[in-house]
Structures are given as structure tokens and as C-alpha cells.
Structure 1
Amino acid sequence: MNRILVYCIFCMIAFSYISCDDYLKDDSGDLLIPKTVLEYVPVLYKEGYPRTFNTDVAWVKLMTDDVEMGYLEKDPNSSWNSDGFDVLSGGEGRQAYIWHYNIEEKITDNNWARRYEDILGCNVIIDALPEMEYNPESELGKYNSLASQAYALRAYHYFCLVNTYALPWSKDNLDELGVIIRTQPQIDIAPRERSTIREVYELINEDIKIAQEYAAQAEVSINKHMLSPAAIQLLATRIALFQEDWETVIKIGTVFLRENSTILDLNGVDESIMGTDVVADFKIMDIDGNKEIVFTFGSTSSNYDFLSSPTTMWNLGFRVSHNDDGSLLKAYEQGDEEDLRLLAYFQQDIFTPSWWPGIIPDEWKYKYHYPIKYKSSLKASGCRENWRTVEVVLNVAEAYARQANDISSDAIQLINELRAKRIKTSTYVEKSVTDFANKEELVKFIWAERRRELCFEETMRFWDLRRQGMPQQIHRFYESKTSFETFVLPQGSKNYVLAIPNSELNANRLVTSNVREDIKAQ
């Protein structure tokens, strides 16, 4: 393995804690090179975990039906309205929002490069495993834990890449271009072609299999910032779901839910502390208060990049979709049921600035519904990305529904277990087989539950739209209060696959980018 690279990585960590004088001596032969499992643990955490994931992919959310452009206040006829665009928040988000064929004309796509940087960190650990030193009597569990994390993280990063820069998995697409496979423990600058989708998923499947084998013998940590065996099982169900491997989803998911069945009951949360910007109030992504969470990662940013701030009331900007029948906010309207997620996941405040009391009428109740999942809590300036038990519930429910020849009662039971904790008890109505005309209707209902539950998490909506048939989307971009252009993303559009970023194209003469279409305004 390339020990010079390992040394450089390790020193980056070391320098952040102590003086380099403690690590460097006059004789270059005295350079500290990690050898033991305990020395490699911080290397993986620093270099293999997706620490900047939130900001790397923030703009991708603009490419979904969960976001629209419009005015941010309740009354669209208010004389206070401005035709100005919220540049501070929206920035160059227009490129992604209209599915421009060349997004990097305005937006720098760092997601690709960052995932490969993280993959390099995983490769270093995986390459070092055979020679890594540890006490087999007292540190075998730590060694297995480190190995399981390295393999699982590499599987995750490749999962993110292939589900963003290649066509969605299908039997017809397996021999289409995937992404570049790099498994070397050193920086790889040699020109490389993209491997096929089949080859990328073969690596992902092998990595997650090895990760689970190591995890079965690993020391379990209560630190949710590190991948636990449970978190690795969750990832395994996601990977299997996206390959339509229903049996594996059910098998692994059932084992997971046997030990991790917690679903936070929103009926047990005081409604007065949901949907507020008060740091002491309820936040679904607070790892101290929500036992659903099995893994937390990324930065602690409390903002949703490109979405307008909740204090931007009279300008145009990007916001949670609410106007059309297929909008996110209307997805929470389920007959007479009161979905508590609409209250818990979105800000409900009446906006009255402390410096302007009594002037803004009370009837201007806050209707923007700024997403509040990741807002600041008492423990942090902002909550991180999280993997939660509910995703496995949804994964297994979908697997049951799609595997069955008819309407699956097993799928309905799982969905009822989730909905009972999310719908206000006084309005909740349990679903039964007779509520669905056919299998396809049940599957669509489960997809709708995924959207309601997992909105604005990672890039899950974009990934789901891709694997659910790449449906048509319509976005309106306003130039003024009454003037807008309409952009239609056709079903199955090439623009559901992102172009290979310039950072790779400029350095790799063998790589082929994805062709995207120029979507004209209507």
C-alpha cells in the first residue's frame, strides 16, 4: 500500500489536535505511520465519512417536485410584494430548477469529487486491513468494526454516485455506462473509462456483503456518528431496494426491525413545540430525542441551501411546493386525517419581527412552511443527515407490496405501524386490503408515504423519482408577480441523469459524459 499517502492523511488529522513537532523529527525515518487499528479509526472518520454531504447535494433538491418557485407570504395580492428574486438564498439555483443541460454553467458540482475523496479514504483502510496490528483478544471487535465501516462507506459512496450520474438500475440498463471504479489506496490520476452499471453494483453488493460479515463480529458502539451494524443493515436494505431485490430487502429488514423497531410517536409530542424555530423545541432530527435515528452524518448546517429564508416574506424565491395537486404540502392532505408531519417537519410560526411589533396583521399566518427537520436544537447549531428506522419500514413494506401477486397485507401492516405514529390519533383510520383496488395502487401509496416521511433527506426524492419511472415534472420560473416561464421535464428525460462534472472531464481524457437535453421555456 502507499504508506506516504496514509502518512499524509493521518498527519492532517494529527495537526488538528497537536503540534506537528510531536509527529515530525529531524530524521525522516521517524515519521509516524499508522499501524494499529486504533490509529486507523480517526483516519476513516476524517477521510471516509461523508462529512460535507449536506452542502454537496443541496442544489439537487431543486430538481424535484418537492420545490417550486413563488411568493413567500400568504397574500399574493399584498401591496408589500416585491418582484425581486431572493438572490441571497436562491443564488444560481435557477440552473438546477429548470433542469438546464449544463448545470455547471452556474453551479459547481462538488458531489462527484467529494464522494471519490471519501472513497479514497475507505480504500486506504481496506488496503491496510491485512497488515493492520491489533490485539486479537481485546481488539478484534474494534478491528471488525473498522473493517465493516470502511466497506459499508465505500458501498454508500458508490451508491450515491451511480444513482446520480448513471441511469437508474434496471435489467435493461445494466450494460449502460455507470461511474468510474477506483479501489486503489492512492490518488489515481490515470485516465479511466466509466464502468458499467452492472460492474458498479457488483462492487457495491460485494462491499455491503463483506461489511455485514464483519459487522456480525464487530464491537457495537453507541456513538451514532459511526456506522453501527444496524446502520449497515439499513444501508443493505436500501441497496437491495434500488435493485428490486425484494427477498433481500425483506430478509435483512426483518432482522433489523426485530432489534430496531422504534418509531417516534408524534402523538406524544406537545403540538405547541412542533414546527417552531425555537431551539429548545422539537426537532425530528435531534439524535438525543429521537430513538429512530441509527446513524448521523454530514455538516451541522441548519439551512436548506437555495430555499428562501423564512424571514424573506415579500420576494420571489424557491420554497416547498404547495400549489399543484402533486405538490409536497398537498401530499399530507389525506381525507379527514390530520398528518402531524405537516406540523412537525415544517415551520408554522406567525411572522412578526421583534423590531416591528403589532404592524403585521395576525391573519398573515405563516404559510411558507419552511422545512424545519434540520433546524438548530439545544445540542447543535443544526442537525445532521440521519438514517432512521422508518426508512427500513418503508423499504420492507415496498418489497412486500411489489413481490406479492396481489395486495399485500404484510405491507399494509407495516405502513399502518408507521402511520399510527404520524397521524393524529383522533383522526387516524387504519388501512386495510379493501382500501386498495390493486397491487399497483398500494405501491403508489407506499411511495407517497416515502415522500411524506423522507422529504429533504439526502437526495432521496430525486433518487426515488428516477427509480419510479422518471415522471414528467413542471416548474414555473417567475420573472415577476404575473410573468413566468414554464419548463417541462418530460417523462424519462435524459436530464434525470447528471452530467459528469468538469472536475473529472478536464482531468480524464477517457471519461464520457452524459448527454442532456436542452429544455426550452414554454
Structure 2
Amino acid sequence: MRNILLFLLLLGVAGCNDFLEESSQDEIRPSTVEDLMQVMTGEGYPMNFLEYGYTELLTDNVKCNGSSSDGSMISTMDNMRSLFLWEDDMFEKLTEDGYNSWKALYRKIMGCNTILGYIDKVSGSQEVKNNLCGQAYVLRAYYYFLLVNYYGMPYNVGDPKTNLGVPLKLVMDVNDGFMKRNTVAEVYDQIVKDLEVGIQLLEEHPKDMSLYKINALAGEAILCRVYLYMEDWDHALEYANKVLKKKPTLLSFASMPTGMMEPGFMGPTWSVYNLSVSDEIIWMYGDYKTFSSCFPSLQGSIPPFSISEDLQNLYEYNDWGYDTESGQWYYNYGDLRLPAYYQYVMDFTTMFVGYIFGYKGGPSQNYASFGIRTAEMYLNRAEAHIRKFMETGNDEFRVLALADLNRLRATRFDTQNVAYKDVDFSDKDDLWNFYEKERRRELAFEGHRWFDLRRFGMPELTHIYFVEKGLEETVTLQEGDPRYVLPIPPSAMDNNTYLTQNKR
């Protein structure tokens, strides 16, 4: 055990070095597949969302509220300002090292490469080895998918065969040279290849594990998302169908305790990533609330950033209803995602009342979980069908898309006093616009919005930043703005002269 802990320490030090700098690990090696399983858990799996989830601050899901009257949040705001305003030096000013996704994700890729590099050198069951390799391939693909969508152009913009993506490092060996950026298409090709290999290994060598571990179903769900981004509608449908055939369940929000439907409930632990209530989780990971510095969780605290009115107003929540048969008014909460997905704050000193903190629950009040859910698969399938309807005019695709959208929405609304009413759109543009909003409503604060904005045409966005009222700073991200691609962190550029920085 002591040797494997030393190995993990060395691996961690290597991972913390600048991009593609590694230290030799010849002196200490894992000797059993159990050792590699420890490496996989510590260095291959994501531990928290801070490393990848900060992009919500780049989107229209978040607004700035200024600092509290006592000035206690000024340092936090100064730390986040460069990110919120899409500044070129965003990674130089951020004090939290976890916001450097380049560094964090390549470290995880190094962990996966270590598994694949050592797997034939350790003792143990071949069945376990094959399953572990399957996990490593799927996770490596997932991390490259995140990297290429942070630091490369969207797959559907320009030519992915010439647009620069990120360097592909696929072995654990020390690389004495520098690596250039592969194209977006090359990175996506590797992602698909890794996922196909990983899924096959996990299908042929299954293990009964928790939802915190990758299995074949999770690999298929990730591949569905990848094909969606590539606008390969047929393959996206194929994998959405595979996943939903095996796991079609959705959590019914009407089963939420009534008290939690009310505004002001402290911490939405009853939600889609709570294992005790949710049956729609495919894969999950998480940590303590990772936006706590931006979205304080205590009642009476006004956060410097919170969910935008634009997002909050998308939810059809808090309506009265009238029963014509009984002649009685009744209370119908409507779309329950607002109290389920967001934390509510009441500050009677400043009269600030509203939803501030976005997260989808977890095993406890102070825990936030993320991952992949069946809800996304229904949305992905609906999107592919809408796109095929828009391209062909075949009404069957419209009907199939609406069926998935209504099935999802029916589980999100309060149906205690009134049945859910299906939405229906005959016009392709109206259907697409509704779908975009529904995807935003359902997947907010799970890391999707920034990527969706990119692949949906990179629309114009405006952020207003201020510490004090009257000192507002307005910055606009123009349609198609090159700042929709994040800058490669300076530490990576300094240590690899072969890298080409993204245009800003």
C-alpha cells in the first residue's frame, strides 16, 4: 500500500506540472490490478465540478448583483470578473487553480493513460483488467470532449478538418518533445474511437458498480452527446435509443414533498442527483458545493452572482388554477424545476428575494452532484428528430420530437390538482425555439449551456458587471465572437512553444 501511495503522489506531482511535462515513474510501479483501481479512482475520475463547471459564468444563465453592503464579497468578485466579462487574461487573474481546465483535464487524461499503459504489467483477473480499461477509454474520451469544446471551435462551425482542437496525448510515456494541436476533426475521431472501444470492453466484461463508476450505458450516453455535437443525427438517435431502451425512467417531481414545492425551502436535496429519490441517473460525480464562493448558500446572504431573470422567467411556476366542475380555486405550482433546481434567498435588510444558487441536488444539503441523466437522452433524441424534421419536412419526426419533450415535461410539472397539458408546434422554427428553451430549463448548471450556445450559432450575449450601483460595466459578446473559444492558459503556452493560441 505504501508503494502505491507513493506512486499516486508522483503521478499527482507529474499531473500538476505544466502541460505535457512529466516526471519519471520508473522507481515505483503498481503491481496488481487492485493498485491500478486505486490509481483510477484517485487520478482518472473527476472529483468536483469546479474544474469544468465555471463556464456557467460565461453564459446568459448568470447575472451580477454587485457586492454586499459590508464589502465582504469584493475579493470574490474581483476573482471572477475576468471570467464573467470573457477577458483575454481570465486564467491569469483567477486565483483558484481548479479553473484551469487545460491543466485539470490533461491530468485526468494522464491518469487514464497510466491505466492503459500499466494494465499488461500487473497481476490480476483479466476480466477486471478489461473492465478497468473500458472505464479508462470512456473517461479519456469524455475529457477530450470537454477540452476540444473549451479550446476549439464548435464542430459545426467552419471546417473541423482544419480548425485547431487540442493535442492528443494517448500514451503515458515521457514525451521529450512538444506536441502541436490536432484538428477538431482528429480529436472527435479519437473520442469516437475511444468510446467504441471502451463501450465494447464494458459490455463484454461488466461489473456491478455504483453510479459513480463508468459503465457501458454511460459510455453510450456520452457517445450520443458526441454525435449530437457532430450533427450526425442518425448516430445520435441510435445511441439515444440504446440508452433509453435500457433505462427509460424519469423522476416524477409531483412526488416531491409539498413543503419543498414552496419558495424558501433551504437547499434542494430532493432532486435529480439524489440517489435516494432519483432513478434517472446514468453516471454521476460531485463534491461539496463548488460555486459556494459565487452563490453563498446561507439564508440572508446576497451573492455577487446569481441565476439571471432571463433563465428564471423560463419556468412556468406558481400559478393558480380553477376547477370548473367544483367551482373551486386551487393552487397549482406548475413547473417544479424552479424550487427543485435552485436555492432561494430572503434578505429582509435589502429586500432581496429570489433564486440564486443552481444545482441539482446530491446525497446531502452541502453536496452538489453532476453527470449524465436520462433527461438529457430524451432531449438529445428530440433535438435529432427536430433537425431531421427541419431538413426533410417529414412530420413523423416532429411527432416523435414532441413525444419526448412532453414525456419529459410531464414529469417536471405539479400534477396533484391538474393534469399536464401537452405542448404542440407545427411550425419548425417555433418547435426549435421551444426545444432550445426546454433544454436550457432542464440542463441549466450542469455544464451544457456554454457548449449549447456555441453550437447553436454563438449568439450575442451581454453581461453587466458592477461592485456598486452606478458603476456598471457592460460588455457584449458579439454573434460569432472568437471569445466563444477559451484562451489556452499562459502556463501551457509558456511550456509548449508548439501550441498556437486561440484568436481573441
TM-score between both structures, scaled by the size of structure 2: 0.84
Q: Distance in 2 between matches of 1:161 and 1:230?
A: 22
The answer to whether 1:452 aligns with 2:441 is yes
Change (3 A) 1:376 1:318: farther
Equivalent residue number for residue 412 of structure 1: 402
1:353-385 residue CA offsets vs partner (Å, 9 max, x unmatched): xxxxxxx69xx583243324347716xx41322
The one of 407, 412, 416 aligned to 1:422: 412
Match runs of 1:169-248 below 5 Å: 169-170=155-156, 172-174=158-160, 175-188=162-175, 190-248=177-235
Question: Amino acid of the residue matched to residue 296 of structure 1?
Answer: M
Offset, 1:284: 3.1
The one of 134, 138, 153 aligned to 1:148: 134
Q: Distance in 2 between matches of 1:93 and 1:341?
A: 27
Match runs of 1:94-105 below 5 Å: 94-105=81-92
Offset, 1:283: 3.7
Q: Any conservation in 1 of the 2:92–2:490 contact (CA below 8 Å)?
A: no
SS in 1 for 2:358: coil
Q: Any conservation in 1 of the 2:268–2:341 contact (CA below 8 Å)?
A: no
Change (3 A) 1:392 1:314: closer
SS in 2 for 1:92: helix
Change (3 A) 1:401 1:37: same
Q: Any conservation in 2 of the 1:283–1:377 contact (CA below 8 Å)?
A: no
SS in 2 for 1:226: coil
Aligned length: 466
SS in 1 for 2:334: coil
Offset, 1:194: 0.6
Change (3 A) 1:281 1:116: closer
Q: Distance in 1 between matches of 2:183 and 2:196?
A: 20
Offset, 1:133: 4.0
- Structure with greater proportional strand content: 2
Equivalent residue number for residue 324 of structure 2: none
RMSD (CA atoms) = 3.1
The answer to whether 1:39 aligns with 2:35 is yes
Q: Distance in 2 between matches of 1:282 and 1:315?
A: 23
Equivalent residue number for residue 288 of structure 1: 276
Change (3 A) 1:277 1:146: farther
Q: Distance in 1 between matches of 2:457 and 2:212?
A: 34
Equivalent residue number for residue 158 of structure 1: 144
Match runs of 1:426-445 below 5 Å: 426=417, 429-431=420-422, 435-445=424-434
The one of 49, 60, 65 aligned to 2:60: 65
Equivalent residue number for residue 393 of structure 1: 378
1:129-159 residue CA offsets vs partner (Å, 9 max, x unmatched): 4555444xxx52x233212111000100100
Q: Any conservation in 1 of the 2:4–2:29 contact (CA below 8 Å)?
A: yes
Question: Amino acid of the residue matched to residue 137 of structure 2?
Answer: Y
Q: Any conservation in 2 of the 1:125–1:147 contact (CA below 8 Å)?
A: yes
Question: Amino acid of the residue matched to residue 9 of structure 1?
Answer: F
Question: Amino acid of the residue matched to residue 62 of structure 1?
Answer: L
The one of 331, 348, 351 aligned to 2:314: 331
SS in 2 for 1:476: strand
